[in-house]
Amino acid sequence: MKIIFFCPSATVINGGIKHIFRMAEALIAQGHDAAVFEQNGQRPAWFASTAPIAGQGIFDAKADHLYVLPEDQPRILADFAQLPQRKIVYSQNPFYGALGVMAPASYADFGVTDILCASRMIYDHARIRHPKLRAHLVPCAVDPLFKPAAVKRDIIAFMPRKRPIEAAYIRDMFRFTHPQWNAWEWREISNASEAEAARMLGEARVFLSLSRLEGFGLTPLEAMAAGCVVAGFTGIGGREYATPQNGFWADEDDFPACVAALARAVEESRAPAAARQEAARQIIAAYTPETFARGVKDVWGQILSS
């Protein structure tokens, strides 16, 4: 059986794309034949991957091909529905996934039999929304690249991609209400490679989470692994791991609470509480490359034996 993951443009910096390649790599390491079909035939430049890139020949009507399809591309799902091969959806964000099933009742209408879920929230959603499909949970992984730098600096790191207006507002209100920390650097992480993002987070004392409509939201965990004190929004999907013990969290769109949480994180960051650091370590331990690999092995063992 050749397992082929369909991937949008790998030039886009998106954690979901990275996990498509990581799952293909894990399957190959476990002795399976797997590859990624990238729409432009390109290999990602913003993170390292050994997964092979599949060519157009994967669309030949070969019974031993199995396709892993994106959840949010109705045209792709419809095109693949006409093929006889087995089809699976890899769900990494059910909010965007709704775009792929606006008319059909379920992914099952496209001939899909199983759905891979990147978080507990996605798994619970899949069992309700797509009851005809077999749902499987494969937890995400924090790359070992994310670790504290030898020297931490007075930096608030943030990724504004999903909340650019909110980022400007929070930054403005923070500077106005807490002028004692105006000397701190605000470091925007945008269009950075995985290695660059890891370096910038490693140097920062604080990470402002601007997560929004996330199926999981990996970046706050990467920031914890990089030794940042994390404050901000969970993006809903981050509720799986966000606790008062491991970060300073605010309810969605509660901007005064977010500014207050950020102030508490900055205040603590020069001497992080040992209990908070331990809580962060414990939650990160549930999302390692090893746990991801075990999840891939267990889930795909079930899929291929059914």
Give the model confidence (pLDDT) of 151-203 as tens digits. Answer: 999 999 999 999 999 999 999 999 999 999 999 999 999 999 999 999 999 99
Q: According to the model, what pLDDT value does residue 39 have?
A: 80
Q: According to the model, what pLDDT value does residue 61 have?
A: 61
Q: According to the model, what pLDDT value does residue 263 have?
A: 98
Fold of the domain spanning 2-141+288-304: Rossmann fold (3.40.50)
Q: Do domains 2-141+288-304 and 153-284 have the same CATH topology?
A: yes
Fold of the domain spanning 153-284: Rossmann fold (3.40.50)
Domain boundaries, the chain: 2-141+288-304, 153-284
Measure the CA–CA gap between 289 and 25, rounded to whole angstroms.
Answer: 11
The list of the chain residues with pLDDT below 50 reads none
Spatial neighbors of 292 by CB under 8 A, at least 6 apart, are 22, 26, 138, 139, 140, 141
Amino acid at 253: D
Q: Could you give the count of Cα atoms lying within 13 Å of 257 in the half-sphere of its Cβ? A: 10
Measure the CA–CA gap between 219 and 7, rounded to whole angstroms.
Answer: 21
Q: According to the model, what pLDDT value does residue 207 have?
A: 98
Q: According to the model, what pLDDT value does residue 59 have?
A: 67
